Amino acid sequence: SYELTQPPSLSVSPGQTTSITCSGDKLGEKYASWYQQKPGQSPVMVIFRDTKRPSGVPERFSGSNSGNTATLTISGTQAMDEADYYCQTWDNNTFYVFGGGTKVTVL
Amino acid sequence: QMQLVESGGGLVKPGGSLRLSCATSGFTFSDYYMNWIRQAPGKGLEWVSYISHRGNTIFYADSVKGRFTISRDNAKGSLYLQMNSLRVEDTAVYYCARQKMYCRSGSCDSVWFDPWGQGTLVTVSS
């Protein structure tokens, strides 16, 4: 079965840039999406098709995907960005796969 | 404004059954594929089941196959999940989520979930 691997946790200072990685075999040949989940809330999609940002998501969120790694970058991280972040991919064989999630702490 | 509202969760004994519902509004429900996704306490997200817009294509995760049944009522804008033979490891918050896809010339290359409901908690315990 296909697996996506994320670091369990990251810490970042306010105003700094943080990058959350998501690794999977030839992930760059698929598309990745990213979800933000704040405590007690349901997930919210912040990036789809590797780099697309839906309306309403701040411009400081960006995505990339190449080789075996997709990356969600938060530029100028704010306290409100403290949350769990999940990557997700899909194809006809593996169907829907989520990464294990990364807890981002803004210190 | 799109809304997905789950209901039907609760406490059930191992081997028992529950039926979850997801009432939707703010979009044309019959145009979209829909999914159930769950999250065990303190754990990550796990996809559970998918149903096509007409209900004629259905898939399940191996962990629930043969025990759970997904269905939909397009006239009511509602999605359902019948859960039988429940196990302790089925304890989770269950979310319904609308599926978005990018497709060209009949072939799709990406799928994502947007929006999600607020979730309903299912607890399986004796």
Find, in chain B, the residue whose alpha carbon is nearest to that of A103. B44
One pLDDT digit (tens) per residue for chain B, 126 residues: 999 999 999 999 999 999 999 999 999 999 999 999 999 999 999 999 999 999 999 999 999 999 999 999 999 999 999 999 999 999 999 999 999 998 888 888 899 999 999 999 999 999
Query: B106 — contact with chain A (CB < 8 Å)?
Result: no
A73 CA: distance to closest CA in chain B (Å): 19
Model confidence at A1, pLDDT cuts 50, 70, 90, reads confident
DSSP state of A48: B
pLDDT tens digits, A7-24: 999 999 999 999 999 999
CA–CA dist A82, A37 (Å, integer) = 9
User: Can you tell me the mean pLDDT for A71-93?
Assistant: 95
Alpha-carbon separation of residue B84 from A41, A49, B7, B15, B59 (angstroms): 27, 35, 16, 7, 16
Q: Report the residue from A42, A44, A97 with minimal CB separation from B119.
A: A42
Q: Report the residue from B59, B102, B118 with minimal CB separation from A49.
A: B102
- Phi then psi for residue B89, to 5 deg, are -75, -5
- pLDDT at residue A57 above 90? yes
Query: A2 — contact with chain B (CB < 8 Å)?
Result: no
User: Can you tell me the mean pLDDT for A51-77?
Assistant: 97
| Token pair in block for residue A90 | 């899909």
Give me the pLDDT at residue A91, please: 81
| Token pair in block for residue A93 | 């064989």
Q: Report the residue from B50, B95, B112 with minimal CB separation from A33.
A: B112
